[in-house]
Chain A
Amino acid sequence: MKIHEYQAKELLAPFGVAVPLGRAATTPDEAAAAVRPLVEASGNAVVVVKAQIHAGGRGKGSFKEHTGLRGVNVVTEGLSGGVEAAEAKVRELASQMLGSTLVTVQTGPAGKQVNRLYVEQGMDIARELYLSVVLDRSVGRNIVMVSTEGGMDIEQVAAEAPEKIVKVAVDPLLGLADYQARALAFALGLSGDTHKKGVALLKAVARAAEQLDTDLLEVNPLVVTGQGDVVALDAKMSFDSNALYRHPDVAGLRDLSEEDPAEVEASKHGLSFIKLDGNIGCLVNGAGLAMATMDTIKQVGGEPANFLDVGGSATEEKVAAAFEIITRDPNVRGIFVNIFGGIMKGDTIANGVVAAVRKVGLNVPLVVRLEGTNAELGKRIIDESGLNVVSASDMKDGARKIVELAGGAA
């Protein structure tokens, strides 16, 4: 689960991470009203207006509706014109940005609608650095990664100058040790009092990542100010969805408007669903089998409309909900149910499919392949239901049949 930049900063601050002062806004008036308190508290007449969407690259991104307007805008009008001039500029920017579509390297060409802004104090930036905490699967631990190349895409740094990335693994029982944090801060070229501040921030960020169960915590850029402070100028966090149950405050930050409605609906039912561009709906148990089913549909000339894993412990209701979500997609010309029961029982799937078809109707061909635990029982339930279902003997047979029944390739 992803959250917005301003939410990430609010979560990081209590851990002792220095962040700029800022206020979130959803209207031009709110954005303008944020200016005076920020200027008074920071003593800096410069403010920054930042679009809040769940995608990076905002600073270089541009709006579809406003040529030349960026996702992040520095407002310097206050330097000569006073707070009123800054407020007027922020109001003007906010009215253009809110409701408009921001396109960045991470949003894809369709872009994302901006519904929130973050108005932040301007910072006197001396250096831009990079910091992230991410799981390293090969060692089974979080690693803290830093680079002197702040503000850049870290994958680009990794490709072009890997020696500029320094990382250490965090012992989960000890946390990031002092000596590790010191070494990272030295690698960032920090010295004196700034080094001490850097060490404290690194330890705080590592602790936040562990305690909040993030699967990515990225501060890019981490800046050193003209006064020698070390501040998280941007923050990006995403969370391990399996751990959200113990962070209700974090779970409450979920912004459903940033997500695909069908995927949101599916997640409410505990289903793992991803919308794709094809026309063959898939209902499968198990992530690996669901991916393999998509691969097989493609192999025989079709295009999958979705990835859908009903999971190991699906109930009839869950299966019925999955079926409804698939049939709601107007592109779907056929549905392939591919089940190899283990923990999931064939009769549960069959009852769910039958119940769903009775409830929502069936306007497209349906091919069912059942194998594994209680498969025979499941087949009997479907046969006896009188529904118009084509059965398949194996995955490839099922894929061929549904692609043919759906009218060939997309």
Chain B
Amino acid sequence: MSTLVGKHTRLLVQGLGEAGTFHTDKAIAYGTNVVAAVRPGKGGQAVRFSGQTDHSGVPGRADTYDVEVPSFDTVADAVAATGANASVVFVPPPFAADAIMEAADAGVELVVAITEGIPIMDMVRVRRFLEGKRTRLIGPNCPGVTKPRECKIGIMPGYIHSPGKVGVVSRSGTLTYEAVKQLTDNGLGQTLAVGIGGDPVNGTNFIDMLSMFQDDPETEAVLMIGEIGGTAEEAAAEFIRAHVTKPVAAFIAGTTAPPGKRMGHAGAIISGGTGTAAEKISALEAAGVVVARTPSEMGDAVLEAIRRRS
């Protein structure tokens, strides 16, 4: 998946609060090339990050890092000065939609929005704003994107990943970590792990990622993690049946969730009898996807999916 993120990624950070600062440090320690921060009113200043890298002791890689990240007043300034081609948004919910639009307007190719709690109507406007622009938005309310050993954008813990051939796409945050760790523990490395977020209106959906994984020569199998609410999994199942030749495994969270209750994520609600886990599981199985019955079996499900197709 060299096209989405990788060694070529030049990341700028929008929102250097407590969480933004903590995870920027972790991203640099992972090896991500963080080139700029946008802090309106603090342009010209710099923030220093230093410490021990995640790969210290690995031959040919640096043991420590000491980076000065320059700050800019606007995304446009940051892009002009640093050639940033990706942005990560940690900006608080009332201002996050604006931050996403600023990045898109400045021509940033990939915007990863971590922020949880953005009003739905703000995201409806963002989606409209992005029409016809070349920016790909991932999230919001997502854990980010990680290409093992190369680039980590967002809040995923770096150590759980290992490079390999499985593409991971998920609506959940922490459940993505669970999945990635199991894959790694099972000896299944990842090409890319992507959290698309738990909000009802987001930038990138399952079908976008399935299509990228299908076209990616490095990816040999896909693990998709869905949950109750909406019909994105059913649409993905239909897409898989028609267009995906690679083995696909899945897990759907919320088998025990009661109807009519919003299960944390704004998008996770069974309403009017639609959006149940059972419907999603049967749609996926009908499309030839191996569906894990418990989250502890996600790794096994990927192995089973690969075995069935080989």
Contact = CB atoms under 8 A, between A and B. Distances in A.
B19 A173 contact: no
A218 to B, nearest CB: 12
Contact of A243 (B120, B125, B258): B120
A286 B256 contact: no
B178 A295 contact: no
B174 A286 contact: yes
Nearest to A216: B271
A126 interface: no
A299 B124 contact: no
Contacts of B201: 135, 137, 140
Interface of A: 135, 137-138, 140-142, 155, 171-173, 210, 213, 215, 240, 242-243, 245-246, 272, 274, 276, 284-292, 294-299, 304, 307, 309, 311-313, 340-343, 371-373, 394-396
A292 B295 contact: yes
Q: A-side binding surface: helix, strand, loop or mixed?
A: mixed
Nearest to A396: B296
Interface of B: 19, 23, 26, 93-94, 114, 116-125, 127-128, 143, 155-157, 160, 170-178, 181, 198, 200-201, 225, 227-228, 230-232, 235, 251, 253-258, 261-268, 272-273, 293-296
A141 B124 contact: yes
Contacts of B114: 343
26 contacts: A137-B232, A140-B128, A213-B120, A215-B120, A240-B121, A276-B256, A284-B174, A286-B174, A286-B175, A286-B264, A288-B265, A289-B253, A290-B264, A291-B228, A291-B263, A292-B172, A292-B251, A292-B253, A298-B256, A311-B264, A342-B156, A343-B114, A343-B143, A343-B155, A372-B160, A372-B177
B125 A288 contact: no
A296 B296 contact: yes
A371 B181 contact: yes
Contacts of B19: 312-313, 343
A137 B229 CA distance: 10
A287 B235 contact: no
A304 B257 CA distance: 10
Nearest to B181: A371
Given A288-B172, A288-B253, A294-B257, A243 B264 contact: no
Contacts of A313: 19, 116
A289 B294 contact: no
Contact of A312 (B94, B173, B175): B173
Most A Cβ at <10 Å: residue of B118, B257, B264, B293: B264
B94 A246 contact: yes
B264 A394 contact: no
Given A284-B174, A286-B174, A307-B264, 6 more contacts: A135-B120, A138-B230, A172-B121, A288-B176, A294-B257, A311-B116
Given A287-B263, A288-B170, A395 B181 contact: no
A292 B175 contact: yes
B230 to A, nearest CB: 5
B253 A242 contact: no
Contact of B119 (A243, A274, A289): A243
A172 B125 contact: yes
B198 A287 contact: yes
A150 B156 CA distance: 49
Contact of B121 (A243, A298, A307, A309): A243
Most A Cβ at <10 Å: residue of B116, B118, B256: B256
Contacts of A140: 123-124, 127-128, 201
A209 to B, nearest CB: 9
A343 B295 CA distance: 21
Contacts of A288: 170-176, 198, 225, 227, 253, 265, 268
B155 to A, nearest CB: 4
A309 B263 CA distance: 8
Contacts of B124: 135, 140-142, 172
Given A240-B119, A242-B119, A288-B172, A137 B227 contact: no
B187 to A, nearest CB: 16
A243 B119 CA distance: 5
Contacts of A171: 128
Contacts of B120: 135, 213, 215, 240, 242-243
Contact of A292 (B178, B200, B267): B178
Given A274-B258, A292-B295, A287 B157 contact: no
Nearest to B128: A172
A291 B257 contact: yes
Contact of A276 (B94, B172, B255, B258): B258
A186 B174 CA distance: 49
Nearest to A170: B124
Contact of B295 (A210, A245, A274, A296): A296
A342 B193 CA distance: 14
A57 B73 CA distance: 54
A272 B261 CA distance: 11
A284 B174 CA distance: 9
A201 to B, nearest CB: 21
A156 B125 CA distance: 31
A394 B198 CA distance: 23
A290 B295 CA distance: 11
Contacts of A396: 294, 296
A58 B19 CA distance: 47
A140 B175 CA distance: 24
Contact of A342 (B123, B174, B200): B174
A89 B119 CA distance: 45
A45 B52 CA distance: 81
Contact of B173 (A173, A215, A286, A296): A286
B264 A395 contact: no
Contacts of A245: 94
Nearest to B261: A274
A313 B257 CA distance: 24
Contacts of A307: 257, 261, 263-264
